Homo-oligomer: A and B are copies of this chain.
Amino acid sequence: MDVVDTPTPELQPMSLGLYDLVHFALMAAGFALFAYLLYTWASREEVGRRYRPALYAGLCLAAVATVSYLVLFLKWDTGFTLTDGVYEPNAEARFTGSTRYPDWAVTVPLLTVELLAVCSLAGRRARNLRATTVTAAFLMILTGYFGAQVVADGRDRTALVVWGLVSTAFFGYLAVALIGAVRASLPHMGTEAAVSLRNATIVLLSSFGVYPLVYAIPVFADATPAWAATVQVAYSTADVIAKVGFGLLVHKVALLRTAEDVRAGEDTHPEPVWVSHVHESDGVLPELGRVSPAAAATLRGEHHHGEHHHDEHHHGEHRGHGATRTAPERT
């Protein structure tokens, strides 16, 4: 064991300026995730049924991340005591780092689900790829957590390196698998959707690169207050880019592909699709599958006169059912 003997990054005394900067970063990131959650929730039915699982994944991970930032904010808010112009950490401050891992353990697998939901793989192949990428993403976070938190409170350099390498191996698989799925899907959609899907993949995988970078620094350098603040700001920025930025691009792919399916007559969607004031497709009702014989007769005008009579009678009947009972009772 090669244990570092300085305090962990979470337990550095913070100057007013640095403390406020992290306060800003945590709150702004939490607000951005919360706004994205509400947007995805409110607009989820604008996307066709086929691609809607992408929005479900987006809203679920946004909700988890929002709650996670609430916990982080509360820990940051209560984890430091202002003493002589310096914020001194207390026992609660320990969790300003570790709280991010359970969040990522759920949200990173959901990010891969979100991406695959706008790709074109179908059936068993889609299910298998989803299962392996979800598993790899979960293990990537879990092994990172072992190195950064569980073994010797994250102060053992050897554990950091070993578990860091294991985690990176899972990331490697993830990158290869997702890029493969995206490449196979691009020919099945229009240019605009394909460009957005390619961008979304780049945003996701490159933002993932921030995490090991931040993770690796304590192996080589002592933690300082400025470093602790940088970690929080970097993680918060990366979370917003990887979740909100990526999510908006995926949302656009889902909208454009919905419109493509409707225009091609392959699917129905009851709302028109508009993207940035461009009309992409009309709203189309589901199939009219059944017509009652009575409605058909009215349409054909067969019992036209009789129908009027019947209709009134019918109205009389079904209102009368209530009316007989209720007529003398109404005010």
Q: Closest 8 A-B residue pairs measured CB to CB?
A: A283-B286, A123-B326, A27-B102, A122-B277, A123-B329, A124-B329, A122-B326, A35-B60
A301 proximal to B (CB < 8 A): yes
Shortest Cβ distance from residue A185 to the other chain B in the assembled complex, whole angstroms: 10
For the complex with contacts A24-B145, A125-B326, A291-B298, 5 further pairs of A-B residues with Cβ separation under 8 Å are: A20-B149, A31-B103, A268-B289, A277-B326, A290-B294
A5 proximal to B (CB < 8 A): no
CB distance B20 to A322 under 8 Å?
Answer: no
A183 proximal to B (CB < 8 A): no
How far is A91 from B300 in the complex, measured between Cα atoms in Å?
77
Shortest Cβ distance from residue A54 to the other chain B in the assembled complex, whole angstroms: 11
What are 26 A-B pairs at a CB distance below 8 A? A34-B63, A34-B67, A35-B60, A36-B60, A38-B56, A42-B44, A46-B49, A82-B94, A120-B325, A122-B325, A123-B322, A124-B331, A127-B276, A266-B279, A268-B272, A277-B322, A277-B326, A278-B330, A279-B322, A284-B289, A288-B290, A289-B295, A293-B311, A296-B301, A300-B300, A300-B301
CB-CB under 8 A from A68, the residues of chain B are 31
CB-CB under 8 A from A95, the residues of chain B are 23
Among A289-326, those with CB < 8 Å from B are 289-302, 304, 307-308, 311, 314, 318-319, 321-323, 325-326
